[in-house]
Amino acid sequence: MQRRVEREAERAEPTPGSAVPHARRGARAITILTIAFALFLLGLVALANSGVATRQLLALAAKIPGRDKTVHFALMGTMSLLLNLAWRGARWKLGALPSPLVVPKGSALVALVVTAEEFTQKLVPVRSFSLEDLAYDYLGIAVLGTLGMWIAARIAR
């Protein structure tokens, strides 16, 4: 009975003026960072789609080793890493036991959005669709998304 009360007390929201537990503060910080990064990405897409800053963005990417492909890998991979952390490594199990396919929810959502965004570039005159860009997006999602899942598992221990 006492352990049950202790567990419920741990889950309870902190009262005004009390210290927020370290883990909860960290989770909130990751969530805020994830939202801020998603808004940053939306801003980049809006700038690129407007045509106003397309040349400037391409010139900036040209200064980075690997150019545009490194940017695709890093941005989409970081979004996947952050979302997997914010969602504490949540995953879907697809298929039947004994060995179902396990898909990280954050990585799956990022892959879905990235795929849609890349294909919509066919409709925007100042943008160009590229399967190579999409491949680097997926590579970033796989590598950094996996890192996010690993970190989430370590935090959960």
Q: What is the pTM of this model?
A: 0.79
Question: Three-state SS for 94?
Answer: strand
Q: Is 73 exposed, middle or buried (0-12, 13-18, 19+ CB in 10 A)?
A: buried
Please determine, for residue 97, whether its predicted confidence score (pLDDT) is greater than 60.
Answer: yes
Average pLDDT score over residue span 36-41: 97
**Percent of the chain predicted with pLDDT > 90:** 55
Confidence at residue 8, expressed as pLDDT on a 0 to 100 scale: 57
Question: Three-state SS for 82?
Answer: helix
Give the pLDDT band (50/70/90) at residue 126: confident
Q: Tell me how far apart the alpha carbons of residues 6 and 97 are, in angstroms, rounded to a whole number.
A: 35
Confidence at residue 150, expressed as pLDDT on a 0 to 100 scale: 96
Please determine, for residue 71, whether its predicted confidence score (pLDDT) is greater than 60.
Answer: yes
Which sign, positive or negative, has the C-alpha torsion 130, 149, 61, 41? positive
Give the pLDDT band (50/70/90) at residue 55: confident
Q: Tell me how far apart the alpha carbons of residues 53 and 65 are, in angstroms, rounded to a whole number.
A: 21
Confidence at residue 41, expressed as pLDDT on a 0 to 100 scale: 97
Please determine, for residue 14, whether its predicted confidence score (pLDDT) is greater than 70.
Answer: no
Confidence at residue 25, expressed as pLDDT on a 0 to 100 scale: 79
Helices (H), the chain: 2-11, 22-50, 54-62, 67-86, 105-120, 131-156
Q: Is 155 exposed, middle or buried (0-12, 13-18, 19+ CB in 10 A)?
A: middle
